[in-house]
Every structure is written in structure tokens, then in C-alpha cells.
Structure 1
Amino acid sequence: MDTWHDMDIPGHVEAYLAGQPEPKQADLRQVHAQVLADFPDCRLWFNDGLNADGKVVANPTIGYGVYTITYADGSSREFFRVGVSANTAGISVYVLGLEDKTYLARTYGALIGKASVTGYCIRFRRLADVNTDALQAAIRHGMTVDHPG
């Protein structure tokens, strides 16, 4: 089931959160609540991680905000700016659409604590392991940065 454009996105998000084991659920809920507190009017997304054939191809992801991706062939589509997802080892926060793929690691890598920071992903085991101010700053950047058109 493709839930990108489903009208009950908050319901899908809640079911996803409720299905996570503790303490991961509490950490996910805290990140989710913080993004919504900072950006109460942002567009909310939910991707169940299934492809058109119903096969799992990705971890389910909660998305926030919107920007337009323009492809080389001139086509475009909307996508979320920031995504939050549980993985087997912990939590991934995706900050998408950054032109500078070194920005996250350069800006937050030394501050964020026990986390792996790549070009678009901040991955950590527990929220308690990271500097939540730095994580929040990275999310805010992703939600407000101008995206190329």
C-alpha cells in the first residue's frame, strides 16, 4: 500500500510509532514531537517502505516538509525535506536535498556525539547518545534551507 498520498497520514505515523519497541519508540516520539513543535504547519509524509509489488524495499519513514526534486530529464516530483526512520541498530534522521554533501558531517559531526553522519543521514542508537541541540539544529537546517529549483 502506497501511503505517500493517503489522507490518514497521522494515523499511519501513530501506528508506526506504536509498533516500535521501547526505548526506540520513546526516542522516535521525542524527535517527531520536536519537529512538529518547530514546524507545526509542515507537510507530514509516511512511506511504508513497500514498492508497487508490496515488497519491502526500505525502512518505513516519517517525512516532514516538502521540496521539489528536479531530475536531469526535466521531470520533477515533490519529496520530504527531513525523514525519521527506525532501523535495526537505532534511528536514522535523513536531511535531504543538501547541495553540499559534506555539510552535515562538517557542521555537526564533531558536536553530535555518538552518531554516524554521512552526506544526508545522521544515524544513532539512542537519543541519549547524541547532542539533541545539534540534532535539532541539523533538522532545522534541512527544513529551512533553500533547495535548488
Structure 2
Amino acid sequence: MEQQIENYISSQPEPKRSDMRALHRIMLQLMPACQLWFLDGKNSENKTVSNPNVGYGFRTITYADGTTRAFYQIGMSANTTGISVYILGIKDKNYLAQTYGKQLGKASVSGYCIKFKTLNDINIGILEAAIRDGLEQEP
């Protein structure tokens, strides 16, 4: 798992590689004993359906039909223009944007996703606060 994560981060161009490495260290500082995940973005037919992503922590997703699935709490992924951080488990889809959007800097914030081009574009302390907030919302 850790080797897959390292390979994924290493495959990114600079400055995205250094930023993702720094974010990975931040996540491990915020959640030192967390479960690590690596999703390659492929479905059961081996078709690419999303960007690969690194996950941190553990949560159970319950679907409308009552089935459940183990998943991560916090995710990180490279996208075409920069990096996405996913904070899962926040029920109010406006919460992240309303609470952290203006203080984050040059980032777009949706229901559970914070996207930015480089770490230099955002306030890392505010990003850490948003991640801690997300972690506290999960049982």
C-alpha cells in the first residue's frame, strides 16, 4: 500500500509531486495511526472511472438501500490542474464552503471537495482545520 502511494505521488510532475508529498506528511501527522488506502481509479472491468486517489482513515458508508461499504474519511488526488482533497462524512453540503471557503485562499470548495492548484495558493492551516473538522464529524 505505502509503495503504491509512493509510486503514485512520484509519478506526478513538479510542483504537484512535492505538494502531494507535503500533504501526505500532513495527513499522517493529523492521523498517525490511520488506515491507508490506494484506489487506482479503475472499476471491476479495469476501466478508468476516476483519478487514482490516496485515502486516510476509515468510515462506513451506508447507502439508501441499507448496504454498507468500508471507505476512507479523507482523500487526496491529483487532477488535471492541481490537487483535490476530499473530506467525506460532512452531512451539510454547504458547510465546507461556508466555513472555510473564504479563508482557504485560491481554492474551489464543493460539498466535500477542496481543489487548488498548488499549496502556495492556499492557507495550509485552514486546510488542516477543515480536515480536523471532517474527522470529528464521523463516528
- TM category (shorter chain) comes to over 0.9
Native 8 Å contact 2:89 2:138 kept in 1: no
Alignment partner, residue 100 of structure 2: 108
Alignment counterpart, residue 77 of structure 1, candidates 55, 61, 69: 69
Alignment counterpart, residue 42 of structure 1, candidates 34, 52, 71: 34
Report the secondary structure of 2:115's partner residue: strand
Alignment partner, residue 111 of structure 2: 119
Aligned pairs, number = 139
Distance in structure 2 (CA, Å) of the matches to 1:55 and 1:146: 31
Alignment partner, residue 138 of structure 1: 130
Alignment partner, residue 6 of structure 1: none
Q: CA deviation at 1:69?
A: 0.9
> Unaligned 5+ residue runs, structure 2?
none
Structure with greater proportional helix content: 2
RMSD of the TM alignment (CA)? 0.9
Runs ≥4 residues deviating over 2 A: none
Matches for 1:13-32 after TM superposition, within 5 Å: 13-32=5-24
Q: CA deviation at 1:39?
A: 0.9
The one-letter code of the counterpart of 1:90 is: G
Calculate the TM-score normalised by the size of structure 2.
0.97
The one-letter code of the counterpart of 1:136 is: E
* Deviation per residue, 1:75-122 (Å, 9 max, x gap): 111111110000010000011111111110011011000000011100
> Unaligned 5+ residue runs, structure 1?
1-8
The one-letter code of the counterpart of 1:57 is: V
Calculate the TM-score normalised by the size of structure 1.
0.90
- How high is the sequence identity, in percent, across the aligned residues? 53
